[in-house]
Amino acid sequence: MQKVFVGTYSIINGGYGDDTPKTLDAQLAEIKRLGYDGVEFLANDLENHSPEEIRELLDKYGLEAYSSHMTVDAMEGLFEKGKAIGLKYFFSARENIITAEDARHVAKQLNELAKKAAPYGIKVGYHNHAMEFWMDGRKTLEEILIEACDPDVVFQLDCGWATAAGTHAPSFIRRYSGRFPAVHVKENNKVLGPDQPTPMPDMKPGPDGEMSEEAKAALAEMMRTASIKMATQGKLGADNSNVDYVEIKKALLEQNIGEPLFVVEREFTYAGTRAQCLEEDCAWLKENL
């Protein structure tokens, strides 16, 4: 049976509302209750807890952990903690790649970090959203990024976002076979196409401690666009699904790089409560993969 993981992000990103578990202990207890085998951490989880605390909690709930999401800037300072916890992958979750030049710049950063991470037994990688599948010239930004990265840099394909952008996830994995030790699982029921992404606004406060009105407007537009894309995410295995996770698993196994890491990420609650959705996600994957 396929082991299934879930990120702490899916527990704390607003879907639980007032019932959101407030501590890492409570979040891991909920993850275990939902039926998951393991957890993917955020940088804050590592920053706010010692490796000993995290290992104790993992052991307490019988959970595994191999990956974490963070920015490129946060990675180097967390390699030692990651090693102590037993993590294998640090994935950058978004670096605002909107041009080929951006992609090559991020690739250079990842290449440098990969060399620094190697002594800790950690591989550095990148996690896509829909924006990386915008075309710049004859290639998508994701293709440009992968091809500019050294072989030691790995990738976590978010299959829901890739599909929303018009990419066939199994084919993409096979095209760059050997680069995908992990995927993010989310459903998708509509292809939106590789539209030009909205750049992340500069959210740094000004001298008065507030964001500029221009930045606030840009942030509002970005969230409006994102909410439309998130609304395409439904129930795993739904009749209107356009993501084939059985074929995705086949493509991952064909790489011969070990057991693939399946991590559920839920950004949209399709019915009932967030907890019900996450529980059904886990059950569907274990039954069908």
d(CA 102, CA 106): 6
d(CA 123, CA 73): 15
Per-residue pLDDT, 216: 75
Per-residue pLDDT, 195: 56
Per-residue pLDDT, 137: 87
pTM of the model: 0.89
* Helical segments of 121-272, H only: 141-148, 159-164, 169-175, 213-230, 245-253
Per-residue pLDDT, 205: 65
Q: Which CATH number fits domain 4-288: 1.10.565.10, 3.40.50.720, 3.30.1490.20, 3.20.20.150?
A: 3.20.20.150
Low-confidence ranges of the chain (pLDDT < 50): none
d(CA 136, CA 196): 9
C-alpha distances in Å from residue 79, one per residue of 20, 76, 87, 96: 29, 6, 9, 23
Per-residue pLDDT, 218: 72
Per-residue pLDDT, 201: 59
For the segment 148-204, what is each residue's pLDDT rounded down to a tens digit?
Answer: 999 999 999 999 999 988 899 999 999 999 999 999 999 887 777 665 555 555 656
Per-residue pLDDT, 12: 93
Beta bridge partners of 4: 262
CA angle 101, 103, 108 (to 5 degrees): 95
Per-residue pLDDT, 215: 73
Q: Which residues, in sequence order, are CB contacts of 287 under 8 Å at separation 6+?
A: none
Per-residue pLDDT, 225: 66
Per-residue pLDDT, 231: 63
Per-residue pLDDT, 189: 79
Per-residue pLDDT, 197: 54
Burial of 117 from C-beta contacts in 10 A (0-12 / 13-18 / 19+): buried
d(CA 56, CA 96): 35
Per-residue pLDDT, 219: 67
- DSSP track, 42-54: EHHHHHTS-HHHH
